């Protein structure tokens, strides 16, 4: 025990300081958040732009980015950064196309969640069903996402602090759950902002490690171009790490890039950020700075795994290529520096916690406000209490499944992203921009999007070799958009009354 502490004291100290800080923020906002549903769910729409900007960035980039995506570059080379480019494009689109409109319409409708936006926007006898279906979709897709994040953090703790996988997963899930339960959206956004700053700094530190280890840019790049490491299939990599399309097909990059990038235009944990922003100046700030924070971090992180080849022997590379989620942990182990490991573990924890906190709150609000309360209305204090209870129970369920994770981090989170994008985007975009969008179209596109994602993945992609690189996001998204447009045109009599639409589209 003494040996262990003397070896890891600095990492443990930094991690503990960071954890106590997050818990303190949750505790600090406890009273304010619990005063009403508006406070607990959307922080009373009074959060400044710089906090929202950093919170959006830290929520979008998670353990999936810092561990999963960074590790994938070990297998696919530096061209994996194309995923980052697609991601940055959708971040910009999310803020340009959805941000101001979502903020304005949600304020006009007095909407607190994305599912209740659907009900209030489409305003019909069917809109409650749309709300409940979208809440159920959130509960389904979030499970995969949370497992991916908990798995990534548990791997880092295992590699850096020798904490058993199960304990690592338990710690990340329940510490995050605790401060989210206490402070609701206030603690989620303020901790996210601080986590965003840490993540930004850690991204820059992490990308510099392989260069420092090998001894310079030229040395490392020469090593990568002439590596004798082998691919997952056992063939020599040659100069594949620095050449486009040698180790991975562009279709695969496009599929993963779209499914992760498009989450920003459809995932409730990202969209809900727009709800809490306080004024136009803040909106403008966030629209400019969020892509900058995210873009620079992605430049640093997306090719990181490929650079780690310069630090690994042939045997180590052969192991890592089969287990890409362990690449970042391996890099920190190899550097063997307490200070760097401590800062990076705090950053990786921050990446995981910021995304986990947001989805934990979304799960609680979806189940309680959009299913339970929509079915049987309750008082505000009961809603808050039930939301807290739901969050704790869902985390317990995620913990059990994380012990037997069904796939790698990237695939898990990309699948969740595909479900959101295909199910929600047409109804959101149509709701915000198309006066002639109807409730039946929204419902149909959601059903088609969800079924399309699941059927393509399990019925075609995983069974037919020639289709394995065509990610479910592509056919499912196109199909659901098409269904929304066609059904809206076919059901013109279901368009909400013009007084309601005039009020919505007046801004």
Judged by the rule CB under 8 A, the positions of this chain that interact with another protein are 38, 44-45, 77-79, 81-82, 84-85, 88-89, 92, 95-96, 100, 103-104, 107-110, 216-218, 221-222, 224-225, 242-245, 277-280, 282-284, 287-288, 291-292, 295-296, 298-299, 302-303, 507
What is the distance of C-alpha 29 from the center of its chain?
24
How far apart are CB 80 and another protein at their closest, in Å?
9
| Whole-angstrom distance, CA of residue 485 vs CA of residue 441 | 7
Specify the residue for token string 């929520």: 59
Grouping H, G, I as helix, E, B as strand and the rest as coil, residue 216 is coil
How far apart are CB 79 and another protein at their closest, in Å?
5
Nearer to another protein, 356 or 504 (CB): 504
Tokens of 302: 């997306």
Query: What residues pair up with 277 in beta bridges, in sequence order?
Result: 47
Contact assessment for residue 335 and residue 341, using Cβ atoms and an 8 Å cutoff = yes
Nearer to another protein, 82 or 415 (CB): 82
Contact assessment for residue 265 and residue 363, using Cβ atoms and an 8 Å cutoff = no
Tokens of 74: 């070990």
Contact assessment for residue 437 and residue 484, using Cβ atoms and an 8 Å cutoff = yes
How far apart are CB 53 and another protein at their closest, in Å?
12
How far apart are CB 242 and another protein at their closest, in Å?
5
Grouping H, G, I as helix, E, B as strand and the rest as coil, residue 93 is helix
Sign of CA dihedral 484, 488, 494, 496: positive
How far apart are CB 109 and another protein at their closest, in Å?
8
| Whole-angstrom distance, CA of residue 410 vs CA of residue 328 | 14
Nearer to another protein, 108 or 129 (CB): 108
Segment holding 499, helix H or strand E? helix 498-504
Query: What residues pair up with 236 in beta bridges, in sequence order?
Result: 230
Nearer to another protein, 77 or 183 (CB): 77
How far apart are CB 114 and another protein at their closest, in Å?
17
Q: What angle do CA 360, 361, 367 make, to 5 degrees?
A: 90
Contact assessment for residue 117 and residue 305, using Cβ atoms and an 8 Å cutoff = no
How far apart are CB 245 and another protein at their closest, in Å?
7
How far apart are CB 190 and another protein at their closest, in Å?
19
Nearer to another protein, 84 or 475 (CB): 84
Nearer to another protein, 163 or 294 (CB): 294
How far apart are CB 293 and another protein at their closest, in Å?
9
How far apart are CB 299 and another protein at their closest, in Å?
6
How far apart are CB 257 and another protein at their closest, in Å?
10
Q: Which residues contact 315 (CB under 8 A, 6 or more apart)?
A: none
Q: Choose among 132, 106, 3, 121: nearest CA to 45.
A: 106
Nearer to another protein, 222 or 231 (CB): 222
Nearer to another protein, 218 or 228 (CB): 218
Tokens of 353: 């916690």
Nearer to another protein, 160 or 287 (CB): 287
Tokens of 1: 């025990």
The radius of gyration of the chain from alpha carbons, rounded to an integer in Å, stands at 22
DSSP 304-340: HHHHHGGG--HHHHHHHTT-GGGHHHHHHHHHT-HHH
DSSP 220-289: HHHHHHT---B-TTS-B-TTGGGSTTSSS-HHHHHHHHHHHHGGGGT-HHHHHHHHTB-SHHHHHHHHHH
Nearer to another protein, 278 or 469 (CB): 278
Nearer to another protein, 103 or 369 (CB): 103
């Amino acid at each position: 025990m003494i040996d262990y502490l003397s070896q890891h004291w600095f990492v443990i100290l930094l991690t503990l300081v960071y954890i106590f800080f997050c818990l303190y923020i949750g505790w600090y906002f406890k009273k304010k958040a619990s005063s009403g549903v508006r406070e607990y769910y959307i922080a009373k729409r009074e959060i400044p732009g710089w906090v929202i900007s950093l919170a959006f960035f830290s929520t979008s980039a998670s353990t999936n980015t810092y561990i999963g995506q960074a590790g994938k570059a070990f297998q696919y080379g530096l061209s994996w950064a194309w995923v980052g480019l697609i991601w940055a494009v959708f971040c910009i689109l999310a803020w340009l196309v959805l941000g101001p409109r979502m903020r304005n319409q949600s304020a006009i409708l007095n909407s607190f969640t994305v599912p209740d936006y659907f009900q209030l926007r489409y305003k019909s006898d069917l809109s409650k069903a749309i709300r409940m279906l979208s809440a159920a979709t959130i509960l389904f897709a979030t499970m995969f996402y949370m497992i991916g994040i908990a798995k990534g953090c548990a791997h880092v703790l295992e590699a850096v602090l020798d904490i058993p996988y199960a304990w690592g997963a338990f710690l990340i899930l329940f510490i995050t759950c605790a401060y989210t339960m206490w402070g609701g959206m206030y603690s989620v956004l303020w901790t996210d902002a601080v986590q965003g700053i840490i993540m930004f700094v850690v991204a820059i530190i992490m990308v510099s490690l392989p260069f420092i280890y090998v001894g310079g840019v030229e040395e490392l790049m020469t090593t990568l171009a002439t590596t004798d490491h082998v691919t997952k299939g056992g063939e020599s990599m040659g100069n594949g790490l620095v050449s486009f399309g040698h180790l991975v097909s562009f279709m695969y990059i496009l599929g993963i890039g779209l499914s992760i990038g498009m989450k920003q235009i459809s995932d409730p944990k990202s969209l809900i950020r727009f709800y809490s922003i306080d004024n136009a100046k803040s909106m403008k700030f966030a629209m400019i700075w969020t892509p900058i924070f995210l873009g620079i971090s992605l430049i640093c992180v997306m090719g990181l795994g490929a650079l780690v080849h310069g630090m690994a022997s042939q045997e180590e590379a052969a192991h890592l290529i089969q287990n890409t989620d362990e690449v970042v942990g391996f890099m920190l182990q190899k550097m063997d520096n307490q200070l760097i490991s401590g800062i990076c573990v705090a950053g990786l924890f921050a990446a995981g916690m910021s995304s986990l906190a947001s989805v934990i709150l979304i799960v609680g609000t979806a189940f309680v406000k959009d299913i339970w309360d929509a079915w049987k209305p309750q008082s505000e204090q009961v809603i808050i209490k039930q939301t807290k209870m739901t969050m704790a129970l869902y985390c317990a369920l995620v913990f059990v499944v994380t012990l037997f994770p069904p796939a790698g981090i990237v695939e898990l989170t990309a699948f969740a992203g595909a479900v959101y994008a295909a199910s929600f985007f047409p109804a959101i975009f149509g709701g915000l921009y198309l006066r002639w969008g109807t409730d039946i179209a929204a419902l149909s596109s959601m059903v088609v999007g969800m079924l399309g994602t699941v059927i393509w993945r399990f019925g075609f992609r995983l069974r037919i070799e020639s289709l394995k690189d065509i990610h479910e996001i592509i056919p499912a998204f196109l199909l659901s958009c098409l269904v929304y447009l066609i059904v809206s045109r076919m059901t013109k009599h279901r368009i909400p009354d013009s007084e309601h639409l005039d009020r919505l589209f007046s801004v």
